[in-house]
Chain A
Amino acid sequence: MNRAGRYARWAAIALVIVGSLFPFLWMLSVSLKRQVDIFGGPSLPKQPTLSNYTALFTQYHFGAYLVNSILIVGASVLASLLIGTPAAYALARFRLPRGLNGQALFAALLVRMVPPILLVVPFYIILAKFGLLNTRLGLILLYTGINTSFVIWIMQSFLAEIPTDIEDAALVDGDSRLSALRRIILPLASSGLAATAIFAVITTYNDFLIALTMTSTPAAQTVPVGISTLIGKIQVEWGPMAAGGIIGALPILIFAFIVQRHFVRGMTLGAVK
């Protein structure tokens, strides 16, 4: 490429990055402004303040939202890994009768692909039936199920990449299937497991619709729902809302950066590697 072309390309890339990141910086700037400055037109914060952040915790229950989010995300991701990984292993290593492997994988994919809006009405009816509305347990159960399908699908593709020879050697040496799985396969699949776990954490932490419909008080509401409560019908708490947005975005951006290499795979359900 000639010199002008190279400059043009870097200019285009710079423009894209600004377009991509500026909205975040605008939110950060609003979150650091005093109430009077928010209405003062676009400018940097004149006297940067953390008062919006402290208000989140003293007035708007963000401590409770964070605790709920962490407990719900942690429990449901852990449970789905424990349930999904063995199933993924079975699908990657054994040929089941009647082409069941393909069907099972397709079923797992289907659950993941159905937009959550389609599931909320039945979910609501079921949780209401068992008295689990507005409880952490109710949300943990729903997310565990949704994540399990994802774990099966992604872990299956990671496990299928591990050569069978290694496992065969262990079996010849007298290991049972289970101990070969524990001693040989899981350590080899650990980076895949970590990536899968982080994807599950991201999607669960980010979910809004299910948490919104199944909860009604800070006893079980999660961070995204908490952010939306700052948007009243009449008045919007701009400063705290921006600060809440930052709190909602920051952990996820950090996580996403860590698993960047695997990101396409997670986001495309393993279809693209």
Chain B
Amino acid sequence: MNDLTNAVSPPEQAGRPGGRIRSRRPGRRVLPWLPMAVIALLTVFAVVGPWLIPYGESQGSLPGRLAPPFRTGGDGAFHLLGTDQLGRDIFVRLAYGARVSLLVGVVGVALACLIGTMVGLLAGILNKSVDAALMRGTDVALSIPGLLIAILLASIFTPSIVTVFVSVGLLLWPTYARLIRGEVLVLKNSDFVALARVAGCSTWKIIVRHLLPNVLPSIIVLATLQIGAAVVLEASISFLGVGLPPNKASWGSMIDQGRQYMSTSWWLTAIPGLFIFLAVMSFNALGDWARVRFDPRLEGRR
């Protein structure tokens, strides 16, 4: 077989024959440093902010209420971003709010991811009737507007961060379920899975070794994209007053509480909103980058 030994060229990148050569798009491979920096800063702010700022979360003083940013309030204390209608320091409340937002973003999405991936995997792998049943369930879950779920949960249980986690998880899981099911259905019929079956792999091994590693990039990309959605959702829930208890700081409830003082004290609503905007924008930018980098097919699916 000596005519074959020189058949091996060095294992270079060999494009698929007939495949299109993808042309270069500038800036696709560099890391999105700006959003990453914003997210890192917000995280640091959330973790150490409450320690560094010499005010408590709900420590207020009525004489010092509604102090504008960068001014000393009526009670003689300096507040970097001003105070709210109860004289509470906005900066420190933003830090506590950042904790809530980031926590809800991560835990809520993780929950959604867990439920959605399980349902999607089961629907994709098991037989057609299970698939149909699970997909109908997903449709029903999708059909109830997300905020209503949060409102209902809040009206049934005492509002706490846990109900917010659950609301976010319940709202976001169907997207995962649909995505994972679609990918699993394609992968399940792929040649390499058929060959794995010929090699004697059990269904469990096929899931762990062949299906999950191949859907993982999509899961990660979708998760990044959904953290932004979760942050907006948390803000909306808190805005409606069905999220955390009223004395707890959250960006959404800060907007709500500031609304009444809008005509005189714009900073009460403007600043928390800006934080939401920056955080969501950064997570979305990161997610978009990850999508282009890892999985261009995900475009438009949210």
Pair from one complex: no
Residues of A that sit less than 8 Å from B by CB: none
Residues of B that sit less than 8 Å from A by CB: none
